[in-house]
Amino acid sequence: MATLIRSTKSGPEWTKNELRGYNITVTPQNVAAFFGNPTLPQPSVHQIILDNEEYPPDGIANKDDRHFFFYMEEAMAIPPGEESAVGDFTARLLALLGYDVATDRFIRQRKDIPLFMCGGHTHAKPDVCVVNRNLGIPVLLVQEDKRHLEVEVPDPEPQLIAQAIAAFQHNNTPAEDGGAAYPSEDRSRHHHDGLYADILQDRHDARPCRRRRDC
């Protein structure tokens, strides 16, 4: 088997090779296992959204409900060679579902998260994330699958894992002198090799290394 060379790579550059190189394993889970509860609460959205798969011909009076369908239509209609509106729709959907209702939560798109690996500094940038304002950390990450583009685009799962590692580092690294205090290379390597065990400690509400499977 060929030796996988570890090097500093930004989140968008991550592929399955990085997952193998850092001994990262993804374990799919069903809804009950992922959320720790077999019965999830019903979404707190208006009935018109639940009753219609498309924008109703009679129109919608409520602006938020109306924009839900507008953004969904944009996300599903992908022009050739262009990025879709999935990020826009996801941000709108998270807001509609109340992910930013808490006084310390807000939604960001393309937030830059510092990432330290292999002795170098780089970054990861999720398409959408929910941020805890008081702690200054992302607590939920979303990465779009961009393989519909005509250019070669990596699998989104390694990119999302890179973002989770960056968020985990950021969540657990104290600030020194107004800047980030990054771990040493040995400490960073330990984080990557031990990601499967360490990342699931659920620090600050983050659960970035489990993947939900609806089955």
Q: Rounded to an integer, what distance in angstroms lies between the CA atom of residue 7 and that of residue 69?
A: 43
The pLDDT of residue 65 = 94
Distance (Å) of CA 83 to CA 31, 90, 146, 155: 29, 14, 7, 15
Cα 115–203–89 angle (5° rounding)? 70
The pLDDT of residue 196 is: 30
**Per-residue model confidence (pLDDT) at position 41:** 84
| Cross-strand partners of 130 | 107, 140
User: Which of 72, 73, 75 has its CA nearest to residue 45?
Assistant: 72
Q: Is 93 exposed, middle or buried (0-12, 13-18, 19+ CB in 10 A)?
A: buried
171 contacts: CB under 8 Å, gap ≥ 6:
135, 137, 203, 204, 206
Dihedral of the CA atoms 199, 214, 72, 164 (nearest 10)? 10
pLDDT recorded at residue 170: 81
| Alpha carbon distances (Å) from 163 to 7, 114, 141, 211, 214 | 16, 9, 8, 14, 22
Write down the pLDDT at residue 129: 93
| Regions of the chain short of the pLDDT cut 50 | 176-215
Q: Name, in order, each residue with C-beta under 8 angstroms of 17's C-beta and a sequence gap of 6 or more.
A: 4
Q: Which DSSP state fits 6?
A: P
Round to whole Å and give the CA distance between 18 and 47: 44
Q: Would you call 171 helix, strand, or coil by DSSP?
A: helix
